[in-house]
Amino acid sequence: MANPSIELHDILVKRDGRVILNLPSLTFEKHEHWAILGANGSGKTTLLQMILGYLWPTRGTVRVLGHTLGSYDVRELRKQIGFVSMAMTERFLASDTAETIVATGRTAAAGSYLPLSAEDCERASTLLEGLAMTHLAGHLYRTLSQGERQKVMIARALHARPELLVLDEPCTGLDFPSRESLLEMIEGIATAAGAPQVLYVTHYPNELFPSLTNVLLLKEGRMVAAGEKYIALTEENLSETFSLPIHLTWEDGVPNARRKKAANAFD
């Protein structure tokens, strides 16, 4: 039965007279984990900002978790959404420990420091344990690697048991092992009992971990394709999205996209 978490109706976002997002009506169902994939400037961040109620469309309506944006308190809505982006990581005090940062996730507000309750601290240690990060609990945030910081931010985003977990390019700047480790952790979260719905934003098709079920492909603010991943993520759609001839194979539910070799003049 249909149980949508996000409904976009005929969206147009214009800034400085320029169209930066122009989408047809789209529905994300609660049981689906979505990837939002596109090149730099394709409109991914604009779309996320709209879903999180930070930006209003010039035209169209947005419904998130059953509430129409514009007629509901977005601060209440954001309590049900775990949001992790690189920009957020700078808002935390470098002198805090990983455990403290996770413990402050109760309100789901970035950089918010309410007095911590015993429950907050207990929840933080449960999360760190569940995500195999107990060894980082007492480490100062500033001493953590980029990959570890991202993991801490994701643990923090889970504190309030969100219905929706939005991850904005979490692998940016990570080396290969850190990226693999982070993706493995996210896959674990997405497949756990009672998991939040995941919205994963990336530039890289090869980051699509197995439990992602659906994909939205964006190019220059418009939709190239959207739907179940094996249907939407084709060589043709990917090539169109990135303006690059792409060869695509699949392994265990994970796409492997490679640039097609140009014909060699000496062949």
Ligand X SMILES: Nc1ncnc2c1ncn2[C@@H]1O[C@H](COP(=O)(O)OP(=O)(O)OP(=O)(O)O)[C@@H](O)[C@H]1O
Binding residues for ligand X (CB under 6 A)? 15-16, 20, 38, 40-46, 203
Q: For residue 60, give the nearest of 17, 9, 23, 20 by alpha carbon.
A: 9
**How far is 264 from 267, CA to CA, in rounded Å?**
5
Closest distance between ligand X and the C-beta of residue 166, in Å?
A: 13
Closest distance between ligand X and the C-beta of residue 94, in Å?
A: 25
Q: Judge contact between 30 and 197, C-beta under 8 A.
A: yes
> Between residues 41 and 66, which has the closer beta carbon with respect to ligand X?
41
> Between residues 20 and 128, which has the closer beta carbon with respect to ligand X?
20
Closest distance between ligand X and the C-beta of residue 46, in Å?
A: 3
Closest distance between ligand X and the C-beta of residue 242, in Å?
A: 12
> Between residues 39 and 140, which has the closer beta carbon with respect to ligand X?
39
> Between residues 22 and 46, which has the closer beta carbon with respect to ligand X?
46
Closest distance between ligand X and the C-beta of residue 237, in Å?
A: 16
> Between residues 46 and 213, which has the closer beta carbon with respect to ligand X?
46
